[in-house]
Amino acid sequence: MKFGVVVFPGSNCDRDMAWVTQGLLGQTTRMVWHEESDISDIDVMVVPGGFSYGDYLRCGAIARFSPVMKATIDHANRGKPVLGVCNGFQVLTEVGLLPGALMRNRDLHFICDRASLKVENNSSIWTREYQSGQVITVPIAHGEGCYYAEPDVIQQLEDQGQVLFRYCNPQGDANQGSNPNGSLNNIAGIRNQQGNVPRHDAPPRARRRRSHWGHRWFGGV
């Protein structure tokens, strides 16, 4: 399986991502510059963390119009997997591959910490090696990680099992006290609607967890 890791001007977790896909998972990985439009050799596209195009205007807003993102949308629409982590999640909402938007953290602080996440759905390719309900710990590092969507969109995500991860406490309780950034329903990772079998699920933001990934694929803020 061949991974492609997008590199925007301002990406800063692209090498971390390649370290995971190539170094830990042992898969062929190609760094894909943002001006490239031919990604037909790639099986899994990954949009990594960072500050694409300086995050000017809104996080991920300008990255949306890059040639590589047009190719990535096409890749996703053909049913191939796309993963967005951190800034990559923001980009995927901006391009419309995932619903909602990421906003400033509730308490306005940049958060660099470890967070407990509950695996809500292990039927996706990104979470299938977890148990449903399992609590995992991931490092988080973001300033704009507050997931927002209209109530009917949130309801749809919940009803259709599109929520993959939820912020929780170490005991697995998801409440306001275990919500680091104000994300609605404590949502930390989602997939798109077609994600019932290996599809272009695209959860959010895992970074700085490279030594613990093993064979597990996931996104967590």
Provide the binding-site residues for another protein, judged by CB under 8 A: 57-58, 61-62, 64-65, 93-94, 99-101, 103-108, 148-150, 182
Smallest separation (angstroms) from another protein to the CB of 173? 23
In this structure, are residues 144 and 182 in contact, taking their beta carbons and an 8 Å threshold? no
User: Which of 34/209 has CB closer to another protein?
Assistant: 34
Could you count the other beta carbons within 10 Å of the beta carbon of residue 26?
A: 10
In the numeric block, which tokens belong to residue 117? Answer: 């996440």
SS3 letters for 64-125? HHCHHHHHHHHHHHCCCCEEECCHHHHHHHHCCCCCCEEECCCCCCCEEEEEEEEECCCCCC
Pairing label, strands 187-190, 101-103: unpaired
Smallest separation (angstroms) from another protein to the CB of 102? 9
User: Which of 105/124 has CB closer to another protein?
Assistant: 105
User: Which of 29/105 has CB closer to another protein?
Assistant: 105
Smallest separation (angstroms) from another protein to the CB of 40? 27
User: Which of 48/182 has CB closer to another protein?
Assistant: 182
Smallest separation (angstroms) from another protein to the CB of 104? 6
CA dist list (Å): 143 to 60, 110, 112, 181, 193: 13, 4, 9, 9, 27
Smallest separation (angstroms) from another protein to the CB of 61? 6
Paired residues of 112 in beta bridges: 141
Measured in degrees and rounded to the nearest 5, phi and psi for residue 102 equal -110, 130
Could you count the other beta carbons within 10 Å of the beta carbon of residue 170?
A: 9
Smallest separation (angstroms) from another protein to the CB of 2? 32
User: Which of 24/61 has CB closer to another protein?
Assistant: 61
User: Which of 151/170 has CB closer to another protein?
Assistant: 151
